[in-house]
Chain A
Amino acid sequence: MSVDRREFLKIGGIAAAGSVAGSLLPAVTGLAALDAGGNVSRASGDHQWGMVIDVDKCTKGCDACADACRTENNVPLFGDPKRDIHWIRTITVKQRGVEDAEERQFPAMCYHCENPPCQHVCPVAATFTRADGIVLIDKHRCIGCRYCMVACPYKARSFVSQHVAHTWDDNKDVPRRMHGVVEKCTLCVHRIDKGEEPACVVACREKGGDAMSFGDLNDPASAVAAAVRSGKATRIRADLGTNPRVFYLGL
């Protein structure tokens, strides 16, 4: 089939119009995207998963999100602060240069950046971004070079420096890991694909201050999109241009 230039431009125009219309449609399928086939789900660009964390609601001394993450994802603690693995951790901050500044706590994690430096430096393309915006590490490919740990400005990644004991109480939905790879928050991708929210978000709602909300940034009706639209949501170190998909309120 030959297509002349006019024809080609016309088709291109229609396709572009179609994709714009498509992106304006609110997500109708909910969390688990279904293919036309009916039962095959696939990560799709229709969704851009993101999170909004309200710092004012994060309860001082609470660690519910981090605990839930450890249980859900079988994240080990080696008992050596230098080597411990953290997918999400609570940090305390204080305004610099202010007398008696109030100490505030909030969770820090991988922010699933739109422009992830960790991915750019990975020499074997083990770190990649899924179509729905989740930045993941393919541990089958990772060679443990740790370039990404240096590149991530948020200290979101940890190196598995020693053997991780497997136990019967592991969550069998999340594979354990060999030592010698790097790992980080997956935004509970195994739960998202089932249509559930990340474990930390659920834990924060049930046991903590309900500070975290998770949703589709592309869906105008979602709480995260509303928070971002309000203009009050900020990104950590926005000056770096990494464009995190995790936003903070009240920071």
Chain B
Amino acid sequence: MSKESGMVAAVLFLVLLASPFIYNAFSAPPTHRAELKLPDGGQCVRDTEWMRRNHMKLLMHTRDDVVREGVRLDREGLKGCRSCHPYRGEFCDQCHDYVGMQQECWNCHFYPESKTVINDEDREPGGTP
């Protein structure tokens, strides 16, 4: 291999290596942003910073308490979430869709997706709430 072709190969390799960064530098900013609709005022059951990282642990803990021990602290379970964040489409789904993290809660538990779905006149018989 000649010296020139070696150089060309090296440059090509570097360009390929940097391609994700180059692509990002020239493409439009991401269109989807998680936009949580927050209730006016009120205080969550734990502080927000903690909830951001640990809400799943709290829900799991509440779940086991309810099912196994019969401790019904609705405030700390899904029902509690629902009482301030009534539609999961405006809350849970925002971040979960963004990071592609599936939520399996709604396979069985009730938590309506949005206001339009819950309006009586719009509800589809047999549709998923």
A residues lining the B interface (CB < 8 Å): 40-43, 128, 130-132, 136, 138-140, 165-168, 170, 172, 175-178, 189, 193
Q: Which residues of A contact B68 (CB under 8 A)?
A: 128, 130, 138
Q: Which residues of B contact A193 (CB under 8 A)?
A: 70, 72
Q: Which residues of A contact B71 (CB under 8 A)?
A: 40-43
Q: Which residues of A contact B110 (CB under 8 A)?
A: 170, 172, 175
Q: How far is the CA of A170 from the CA of B126 in the complex (A)?
A: 10
Q: Which residues of A contact B107 (CB under 8 A)?
A: 176, 178
Q: How far is the CA of A42 from the CA of B66 in the complex (A)?
A: 9
Judge whether B9 is part of the interface by a CB distance below 8 angstroms.
Answer: no
Judge whether B56 is part of the interface by a CB distance below 8 angstroms.
Answer: no
Task: Give the B interface residue count (CB, 8 A).
Answer: 18
CB contact between A43 and one of B70, B109, B125, B129 (< 8 Å): that residue:
B70
Judge whether B6 is part of the interface by a CB distance below 8 angstroms.
Answer: no
The answer to whether B126 and A167 touch across the interface, beta carbons within 8 angstroms, is: yes
- Least CB distance, B53 to chain A, in whole angstroms: 22
Q: Which residues of B contact A168 (CB under 8 A)?
A: 123, 125, 127, 129
- Least CB distance, A180 to chain B, in whole angstroms: 11
Q: Which residues of A contact B55 (CB under 8 A)?
A: none
B residues lining the A interface (CB < 8 Å): 63, 67-73, 107-110, 123, 125-129
Q: How far is the CA of A179 from the CA of B37 in the complex (A)?
A: 33
The answer to whether A138 and B108 touch across the interface, beta carbons within 8 angstroms, is: no
Q: Which residues of A contact B70 (CB under 8 A)?
A: 41-43, 130-132, 189, 193
Q: How far is the CA of A168 from the CA of B70 in the complex (A)?
A: 26
Q: Which residues of A contact B109 (CB under 8 A)?
A: 175-176
Chain B's closest residue to A141 (CB) is B67
The answer to whether A136 and B73 touch across the interface, beta carbons within 8 angstroms, is: no
- Least CB distance, A26 to chain B, in whole angstroms: 21
The answer to whether B67 and A166 touch across the interface, beta carbons within 8 angstroms, is: no
Given the contacts A165-B126, A168-B125, A168-B129, A42 and B69 also touching, CB distance less than 8 Å: yes
The 4 closest A-B pairs by CB, nearest first: A43-B70, A175-B108, A172-B110, A42-B71
Chain A's closest residue to B118 (CB) is A168
Can you sample 12 A-B contacts with CB below 8 Å?
A42-B71, A130-B69, A130-B70, A132-B70, A136-B67, A138-B67, A140-B63, A168-B125, A170-B110, A175-B108, A176-B109, A177-B108
5 A-B pairs besides A167-B126, A175-B109 with CB distance below 8 A are A138-B67, A166-B129, A170-B110, A178-B107, A193-B70
The answer to whether B125 and A176 touch across the interface, beta carbons within 8 angstroms, is: no
Given the contacts A172-B110, A175-B108, A175-B109, A166 and B69 also touching, CB distance less than 8 Å: no
Q: Which residues of B contact A167 (CB under 8 A)?
A: 125-127
Q: Which residues of A contact B129 (CB under 8 A)?
A: 166, 168
Q: How far is the CA of A178 from the CA of B67 in the complex (A)?
A: 17
Q: How far is the CA of A193 from the CA of B72 in the complex (A)?
A: 8
Q: How far is the CA of A187 from the CA of B123 in the complex (A)?
A: 31
Q: How far is the CA of A167 from the CA of B128 in the complex (A)?
A: 7
- Least CB distance, A189 to chain B, in whole angstroms: 7
Q: How far is the CA of A158 from the CA of B12 in the complex (A)?
A: 63
